[in-house]
Amino acid sequence: MKNELADPVELTIFQCAVHSIAEEMGAALRRTALSPNIKERRDYSCAVFDGRGRVIAMGDHMPVHLGSMPMSVQAAIDAIDFAPSDIVILNDPYAGGTHLPDITMVQGVFCEDSEEPVFYVANRAHHADVGGKFAGSMGPATTIDEEGVRISPVRILRDGALDREVLDGILRNVRTPWEREGDLAAQIGACRVGEQRLLQLVTKYGLEKLNRWTEELLDYSERLMRAELHAMPAGEFDAEDWLDGDGVTDEPIRIAVRLKIDPAEGAVDVDFAGSSPQVAGSVNAVRAITVSACFYVLRCLLAEDAPATEGILRPVTVHAPKGSIVNAQPPAAVAGGNVETSQRIVDVLMRALAQAIPERVPAASAGTMSNVTIGGLDRRMAGEMGNPFAYYETVAGGMGARLGLDGISGVHTHMTNSLNTPVEALEYAYPLRVRRYSYRPGSGGEGKFRGGDGLIREIEMLCDAEVTLLAERRKFRPYGLQGGEEGAPGRAVVVKAEGGEEMELPGKCSRKLAKGDVLRIETPGGGGWGRRK
């Protein structure tokens, strides 16, 4: 039975309050983290959930994290009997996670007289290394066991006290334990900030009123989503796109979707039947990733101030065949599924939507996060032995053009909402030198409205290092729409220190580079929109 409609002013105040809590959690995490990946690139996300584990507010953080985090929270609730001041840690992609470097923490929020949590808070942060086969834990692995330490839901705080055995078990399995411990401590602090702010809301308004507003907020999101679907044309809309390969073979990998839009019901059925089976390499996506991509695309249809809650997914049915590239099963490797396949799922969904609402959908953006990880021993301050380091970066590309506007150049798009690592921070933290950082002229697709250009980033090794790439859009270029042209494909080159010889690298590989070698990454441009006259 639906609640009586809440006062719109009160509901807006509640919406803004819980959203600000998620944002403040993110600010606390960013300011106290140690790694440049979290502190500078802001590769983290925070969210607030009700006592049933339904998301009611998300920070303006990483779409790939936020749409999948509810499944991790549910996995924690199912596995752990939360007590006050407990915090649960997990990263298992097969328990609602995305890939192993993304570590999630969940805390239940208790009132003085409550036996069960009345809210939950959670955050997820990408750790620059979790002990995988390749430095940075983001390489072309073939099983999840090669990708790093896998954490099923377990308490890292019990009754407010740190469980040192759990923490030490994690730290023993990573390359940079001091940095990981600092980032995990920052995540714990972020949970506590969320707990404090929610308890202040309970004190101010009372739990009964907050619960009523929660239900109305969820219903309001659902109404907004159904209203958007009511306005769309009825029909079935098919689309497909391809991944270049899995890093083990060059065999293209198909992602197919059929959208069935039912305006009368205000509902949509999303069916990925026909997508390729899961593969040997690391581009497999778990179901949480696929649902997250669907959530993101649907959220893009709504106004910016629409509440990002569980209600958005109520009108949506997602079919992702088990054992496929969009719903991989253990022990499949999944590091690239989170960062690369998620982008292609969005591209396919957008391509299908462009048939239904052509004037609202942009051409394809870069379609890859162009992941680069570099690891080795930093001897600048540590003598001959050196300290292990692991640098992780996603390099921005071109945004697709849309009706009335050219695409933006050199920007992170779709499932990533991170920043770059500033040159000064990168060179301070790691034995690396940025030789060039610029736009890639002419890489955007031509059209009535032109796609944004990609970037060129050249990094010199100041020590011997292991460089690993996980990137896409080398063979299948970002598509244009309504007659617009494709964006340029990405590429990566190593310029050898001795002789200046250039060696082109595949999109998914790991190589040993010598001191003085330079890695040059050129990211794809976005597709054009509309035919040029």
Residue-wise pLDDT tens digits, 269-289? 999 999 999 999 999 999 999
Instruction: State the residue for tokens 């591209």.
Output: 347
> Is the confidence at residue 130, as pLDDT, over 70?
yes
Q: Are 157 and 85 in contact (CB under 8 A)?
A: yes
At 502, the pLDDT band (50, 70, 90 cuts) reads very high
HEC string of 157-220 equals: EECCEECHHHHHHHHCCCCCHHHHHHHHHHHHHHHHHHHHHHHHHHHHHCHHHHHHHHHHHHHH
pLDDT at position 498 is: 87
pLDDT (mean) for 468-493: 98
What pLDDT, on the 0 to 100 scale, is given for residue 386? Answer: 84
Give percent of the chain above pLDDT 70: 98
**Measured between alpha carbons, how far is 297 from 229 in angstroms, rounded to an integer?**
13
Q: Could you please report the per-residue DSSP string of 272-299?
A: -TTPPBP-SSS----HHHHHHHHHHHHH
Report the pLDDT value the prediction gives residue 381, as an integer from 0 to 100.
74
Class of residue 441 by CB neighbours under 10 A (exposed 0-12, middle 13-18, buried 19+): exposed
Which residues touch 498 (CB under 8 Å, ≥6 apart)?
516
pLDDT band at 127 (very low <50, low <70, confident <90, very high): very high
Q: What is the pTM of this model?
A: 0.95
Q: How far apart are CA 94 and CA 151, in angstroms?
A: 10
Q: What is the pLDDT of residues 31-81, one digit of tens each?
A: 999 999 999 999 999 999 999 999 999 988 777 887 789 999 999 999 999
Is residue 313 predicted with pLDDT exceeding 90? Answer: yes
Summarised one tens digit per residue, pLDDT across range 314-330 is 999 999 999 999 999 99
Where do the domains of the chain lie? 8-221, 362-533
Greater confidence (382 vs 500) lies with 500
The answer, yes or no, to whether residue 383 has pLDDT greater than 70, is no
Q: In what order do the strands lie in the sheet with 44-50?
A: 55-58, 44-50, 119-126, 102-109, 87-90, 154-158, 161-162
pLDDT tens for 442-464 read 999 999 999 999 999 999 999 99
For the chain, give the mean pLDDT. 95
At residue 36, the pLDDT reads 94
Which letter does DSSP use for residue 359 in this model? T
Give the integer Cα–Cα distance in Å for 495 and 393: 19
Residue in the block written with tokens 């086969």: 133
With cut-offs at 50, 70 and 90, classify the pLDDT of residue 1. Answer: very low
How far is the C-alpha of 29 from the C-alpha of 38, rounded, in Å?
Answer: 8
| Chain centroid offset of residue 467 CA | 22
